[in-house]
Each structure stands twice: as C-alpha cells, then as structure tokens.
C-alpha cells in the first residue's frame, strides 16, 4: 500500500460495487473510514464523501496532499467550496446518478400525502379499522407546480403526465426550446403559487432559493395546497410552513429534507398532516451504485491527469 500511486479515503458508507473501479485498481490504496477515525490524513490524494462528512477548512488543512473531493451525490452543501478553491482542491459530484430515485421518492411522497397512507398504516397497526378518517384526493386533474426544472424536475413532469395531472413549471433557467421539447409550459413563480394544487420544489439550496416558499409566497398559494420538499431543507421555510399548517391554509406537507438534519423540530413533525422521511430520496441500491461508480471513475480519471467533468 505504501507503494501505491494514489491514496484514496472513502469517508461515509458507499456502495461496495460502486467503488470497484477504485478497489480493483492496482495503483490505488483505498481506505474506507470516517475522517475522524483516521490518524494520519496527510497521505490522501482524494477524498470521497456523501453528506455526513463535513469538508471544512480545518479538514483541508489536515490533508495537504489532497487534490480532489468527490461527492457521491448531488448537493455539495457539506463542502466548503471557497476553502477547497483556496487549497487548490477540485470538487466534483455525481450529478445524475440519483435523479430517478429522487423523482420516484417524490412521487411516493405525493401519493402518500394525498392518500394519507402513513397515517392509515399507523392506525391499522394500532388495531383500528377507521375507514372514514382516511379519505384522500385523486391526483388526476390536479395541477402540480414544479419549482426548479433540472434533471429531477424533468423526471417529475414525466411521471405527473402518466397520472394525468396538469403541470406548471417555474425555473428562471428554463429556455423556451427546452420547455417545448419536454412539452411543459413555463410559468412565473406567482402563477405556480396561485394555480397549483400541489407544489414540489427541485432546486439546489442557494441564496435565491432559500426560503423561496416562505411567509410571503405561501400566502399566494391556494387554500388547501400541498407542499413537497425532497430537495434541500430550507427551500421551504419551516417556520412559515408551521404557521400555514397551524392556520389550516396548507392541507399537508411531505418532507424528506429539513433545515436541520437529523430533523429536530418536533412541533413540525407532530402535525398530523405532515409526513416525513429521513433524507432517503436517493437511498436506493441503484442510485447508490450509480453515484459511487460515477465518482470512483471520475476520481481515477482526474488523478491520471484528465480534466474533471463534473466539477
């Protein structure tokens, strides 16, 4: 291992099959351990992470040989990008490996929310047989508002069409040509807010999107709207969400992500019409295999002198 050309640390559990390009490469010495469990971090050329490892300035200082950080997933909000730039470390991600899983989970959440499946499941397991309590709503004919129309938003639109829903899409970067190609009508955010029965967000968390569904914008939504967040905690402002759940304006919310994770806000989770999962939209065998193999191949290519493709 001392003689290996490249030393790579995999901090955060990843699909073993996905890591094969690294594990089977004779030039690579691969260590799988969390950064805080490794005594000497100085040897590593590359660091692979999911979301649990926080790549801070302090960590980068302990890794003077580091050339590349690879995020096996999409969001790089656990990586201090300015510090990485300062230390000359390239950051890459796996931009499309978990698109389908996330879109499918979003649909599972929408169906669960509108048919009250988690609540009905809890009730029957508690020994009840309460058919009256769980009347839901159909998806057919409802208007689904999609805020953010990248890879995941696009897959949501495809699935929504199969459910015979109407679509309204807001994305400032959506060109007319692309909208036409996919067959959606671009709308203003105000139109999405005013006309949608269900609104799902699929943007990264940025200065522009943080709290985009907050006090002011939720006020513009239909009475009885359903809100979905399987993207990033904070895109829907949680205190605004609680306000409009408490006054009955919002009919229900489905959340996979939270402002603080692990989710701390009991008050939010205790609403009967809030259903939640612990940030598992990308947790499928397929997505984890995809993202781990995408970043493994990217890291090898980069260490061998080719430019990073997903930086």
Distance of CA 180 to the CA centre of its chain: 26
Helix (H, G, I), strand (E, B) or coil at 10: strand
Q: Which residue is nearest to ligand MLT (CB)?
A: 73
Alpha helices, DSSP H only, in the chain? 20-23, 57-61, 81-86, 99-115, 117-125, 151-162, 176-182, 189-195, 215-218, 238-246, 266-269, 285-303
Least distance CB 173 / ligand MLT (angstroms): 19
Q: Is 14 in the site for ligand MLT (CB under 6 A)?
A: no
Chain residues 31-50 in contact with ligand MLT, contact rule CB under 6 A: 50
**Closest separation in Å from C-beta 279 to ligand MLT:** 6
Encoded one letter per residue, x for contact with ligand MLT by CB under 6 A and - for no contact, window 191-230 reads ----------------------------------------
Q: How many residues bind ligand MLT (CB under 6 A)?
A: 8
Least distance to ligand MLT from the beta carbon of 197, Å? 26
Cβ nearer to ligand MLT, comparing 193 with 257: 257
CB of 257 to ligand MLT, least distance (A): 7
Sheet order of strands, 68-71 included: 28-32, 6-10, 46-49, 68-71, 90-93
43 vs 98 by CB, closer to ligand MLT: 98
Cα 94 to Cα 215: distance, rounded to the nearest angstrom = 33
Phi first, then psi, for residue 32 (nearest 5°) are -110, 100
Distance CA 188, CA 170 (A): 6
98 makes contact with ligand MLT (CB under 6 A): yes
Closest to ligand MLT by CB, 196 vs 277, is: 277
Angle (CA) 170-175-176 rounded to 5° is 95
- Contact string 267-286 vs ligand MLT (x = CB under 6 A): ------------x--x----
CB 149 within 8 A of CB 184: yes
Binding positions for ligand MLT, 51-90, rule CB under 6 A: 51, 73-75
For the chain, how big is the Rg over CA atoms in Å? 21
What is the closest distance, in whole angstroms, from the C-beta atom of residue 39 to ligand MLT in the complex? 27
Catalytic annotation, residues: 232, 261, 279
Q: Which residues contact ligand MLT (rule: CB under 6 A)?
A: 50-51, 73-75, 98, 279, 282
């Amino acid at each position: 291992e001392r003689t290996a050309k490249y030393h790579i640390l995999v901090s955060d559990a990843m699909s073993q099959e996905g890591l094969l390009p690294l594990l089977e490469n004779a030039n690579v010495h691969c260590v799988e351990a969390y950064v805080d469990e490794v005594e000497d971090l100085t040897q590593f050329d590359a660091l692979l992470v999911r979301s649990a490892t926080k790549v801070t300035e302090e960590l980068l200082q302990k890794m003077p040989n580091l050339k590349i950080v690879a995020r096996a997933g999409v969001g790089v909000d656990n990586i201090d990008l300015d510090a990485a730039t300062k230390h000359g470390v390239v950051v890459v991600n796996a931009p499309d490996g978990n698109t389908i899983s996330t879109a499918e989970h979003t649909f599972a959440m929408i169906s669960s929310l509108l048919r009250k499946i988690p609540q009905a499941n809890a009730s029957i397991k508690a020994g009840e047989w309460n058919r009256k309590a769980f009347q839901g709503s159909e998806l057919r004919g409802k208007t689904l508002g999609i805020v953010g129309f990248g890879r995941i938003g696009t897959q949501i639109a495809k699935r929504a069409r199969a459910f015979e829903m109407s679509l309204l899409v807001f994305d400032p970067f959506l060109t007319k040509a692309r909208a036409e190609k996919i067959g959606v009508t671009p709308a203003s955010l105000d139109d999405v807010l005013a006309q949608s029965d269900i609104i799902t967000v699929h943007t990264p968390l940025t200065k522009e999107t943080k709290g985009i569904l907050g006090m002011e914008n939720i006020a513009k939504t239909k009475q009885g709207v359903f809100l979905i967040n399987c993207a990033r905690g904070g895109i829907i402002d949680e205190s605004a969400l609680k306000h409009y759940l408490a006054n009955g304006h919002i009919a229900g919310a489905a959340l996979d992500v939270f402002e603080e994770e692990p989710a701390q806000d009991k008050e939010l989770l205790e609403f009967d019409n809030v259903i939640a999962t612990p940030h598992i939209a990308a947790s499928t065998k397929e997505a984890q295999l995809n993202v781990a193999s995408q970043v493994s191949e990217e890291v090898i290519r980069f260490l061998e002198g080719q430019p990073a493709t997903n930086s």
